[in-house]
Amino acid sequence: MILHTVNKSPYSSQCLSDCLNRVSAGDKVILIEDGVYGATIATDALPSLHSFIQRLLASQVGFYTLRPDAEARGLEAISEQSAFKLLSDHEFVDLVVEANKVLNWY
């Protein structure tokens, strides 16, 4: 399993789009720092990314948002309503340990 970390907002960067084009079945994607704004795509102006994420969910790609980063930006409620599961710092470390490789998208 590859863990993909995305730290840039999809509203100012192509990082999330580039990441999504590279993920494979069984991989996991976690949004950190300003990347947590990607959890808002279900309700905002990026419907094409939202539909792409929905297709990837069907192929067993896991999507996560780092809770402290979402909370710092007032997005914890949005994250809870999206495809992205909120993770604590401890759970993030567990994902890193579980992964065969970590790819950072920045």
Burial of 20-37, coded b for 16+ CB within 10 Å and e otherwise, reads: beebeeebbbbbbbbbbb
CB 86 within 8 A of CB 64: yes
Residue-number span of the structural domain to which 69 is assigned: 2-105
Query: How many distinct structural domains can be found in the chain?
Result: 1
pTM score: 0.86
pLDDT score for 23: 92
pLDDT score for 1: 95
User: Alpha helices, DSSP H only, in the chain?
Assistant: 15-20, 47-58, 67-72, 76-80, 89-98
Which domain CATH number covers 53? 3.40.1260.10
User: pLDDT digit string (tens) for 35-81?
Assistant: 998 887 655 555 566 666 767 777 788 889 999 999 999 887 775 56
